[in-house]
Amino acid sequence: MTFELLFGIGLIAIGAFSSGSFSIPFGKTRNWAWENYWLIYSLFAYVIVPLGACYVFCPGFMNVLSGVPAQILGWIFLLGIIYGICNLTFGLSLRYLGLSLGFSLSLGLMMILGTIIPPAIDGRLNILLQQSGGTMLMVGLLIAAVGIALSGYAGYRKDKGAGPEANPELNFGKGLVLVFFVGITGASQALGIEQGMGISSALVASGIDPLFQTLPVFFVLFSGSFLATALWCLFLSKKNNNLKAFVKTKDIAVASNYLYCGLAGFLWFVNFIFYGMGKSRMGEFSFTAWGILMSLTIVFATLWGLYRGEWKAADIKTKAWMYAGLVVLVAASFIIGMSGGE
């Protein structure tokens, strides 16, 4: 493994930690329904923080975007809308499955499909499969699938054995249906990022630091995500008579809810800043970065679930399954990362 690949994996790991941590501040919000805190989180995650990052790290990015064909921008924006629908469903999957199991299953499917579909479309996967790295990539994805299965089984055992202490909202059946939808539609995010490679190249040519070449692509992509999210959350807020909660809540200052949701949005997008930096170090087959990000995000989300006491009531055997899943996922992330350099 070259230093560049190792450095790239390290940057992606930092992003994965941020991604696996983003939902923690939601626990600090008070008297807000899901549609309230998810909308404000999305405003920061999809619009405010990405736009701010673009102005800080990519000065002049609007001039580059103005020269991109409308068809390309529209396609990326549409993929962002699809991802917004996916992420809405992901939020519900966390509600029904818990943090550990929800992240493991949802991101696991996103990892496999998001790693394979974009390069299969542009032809890079076929090129890699003709090299030794192709075999390594397939092995890495297979090992990751095993790790996901181990983590998922551990989460299932945990929730099944929780008894009266279980979260009353947990529902494995509903959560599983949502997970399949998230996994399928979630590949749109990786596809949108790869579709923006031409934009990234133009940004580098304009003098932007290659480490931040992906940020404007994220902004276009997630603008579509915010549109889908805003429409749905505002609809739910009106339906459930929660619109007034955005300006007034019982017993507490509403500003603290905005603060915590803003922090969640910041943590979520910081993930993509580091992911973009790491991806820029992965060479020709940079699509392998997606598998690394998803694998390590599952690891960090599971560790946060452990810290928050989600596994407190689990028996030793269940925890052993969980730790085995984490070890396998970490190993898979390095194998996937090495595949691009072979």
What mean pLDDT comes out for the span 136-158? 83
Report the candidate in 5, 41, 36 with the shortest Cα–Cα distance to residue 22.
41
State how far Cα 73 lies from the chain centre.
21
Model confidence at 65, pLDDT cuts 50, 70, 90, reads: very high
Q: The tokens of 3 are what?
A: 């230093």
At 76, the amino acid letter reads: I
Model confidence at 19, pLDDT cuts 50, 70, 90, reads: confident
Report the candidate in 119, 112, 128 with the shortest Cα–Cα distance to residue 342.
128
Spell out the SS3 assignment of 279-324: HCCCCCCCCHHHHHHHHHHHHHHHHHHHHCCCCCCCCHHHHHHHHH
pLDDT score at 36: 92
Where do we find the tokens 């749109």?
A: 188
What mean pLDDT comes out for the span 66-77? 92
What mean pLDDT comes out for the span 253-262? 90
What mean pLDDT comes out for the span 158-183? 71
Model confidence at 228, pLDDT cuts 50, 70, 90, reads: very high
Per residue in 299-342, pLDDT (tens digit) is 887 788 788 777 887 889 988 998 898 888 888 877 877 776 55
DSSP helix/strand/coil, 92: helix
**DSSP codes, 19-39:** HHHTTGGGGG--S--HHHHHH
pLDDT score at 260: 95
Q: 305 versus 232: which is more confidently predicted?
A: 232
Share of the chain above pLDDT 90, in %: 28
User: 239 burial class (0-12, 13-18, 19+ CB within 10 angstroms)?
Assistant: exposed
Per residue in 162-173, pLDDT (tens digit) is 554 556 667 777
pLDDT score at 144: 83
pLDDT score at 100: 64
Per residue in 146-155, pLDDT (tens digit) is 888 888 788 7
Q: The tokens of 165 are what?
A: 């202490």
